[in-house]
Amino acid sequence: MRLWSGDFQQEGMIPRMFTCDDRDVSPHLAWDGVPPNARSLALIVDDPDAPAGTWVHWLVCDIPPTVREIPRGTVPAGATQVRNDFGRPIYGGPCPPGGTHRYFHRLYALDVPRLGAADKRAFYAEVERHALAEAVLMGKYKRSR
């Protein structure tokens, strides 16, 4: 699979509007190459550079396998959002306490129609258990103060 955004490039800087410093809306994401046997898709957006360990910004599962993009600031019909490390079941944009952080957007094709994950621990475990394929897009952000 291949994952990209119309809002930032691979290893490029994520624009401010997608962060806690501005509108905090999710960026556009698009993909292709979903395996024909995929029954759903799942998305994880996280920051491995956070001081206390990986910080989860967005968890979305139960995305229909026919979906090929998520427009800016939206969630696909039928998809489920799971609580992130901000304590909310919605997108939470980059908000690093200092320095430049990397934000990994990982899309997974799964062999189940519904993930059934109620929290982030179960989400990660079930994605690992059911993943058929993975695509990764990484963007960076540094706050200006």
pLDDT digits (tens, 9 = 90+) for 83-112: 999 999 999 999 999 999 999 999 999 999
Provide the domain count of the chain.
1
Give the domain CATH number at 101. 3.90.280.10
DSSP secondary structure letters along 35-90 = -TT--EEEEEEEETTSTTS-EEEEEEEEE-TT--EE-TT---TT-EEE--TTSSSS
CA distance 85 to 119: 10
CB 82 within 8 A of CB 59: yes
Using one digit for the tens of pLDDT, what is the confidence trace for 114-137? Answer: 998 889 999 999 999 999 999 999
Task: Tell me what pLDDT residue 13 has.
Answer: 98
Is the pLDDT score of 145 beyond 80?
Answer: no
| Integer angstrom CA distances of residue 57 from 51, 88, 112, 117 | 14, 9, 23, 16
Using one digit for the tens of pLDDT, what is the confidence trace for 1-25? Answer: 999 999 999 999 999 999 999 999 9
Task: Tell me what pLDDT residue 144 has.
Answer: 87
Tell me which residue range forms the domain holding 59. Answer: 2-142
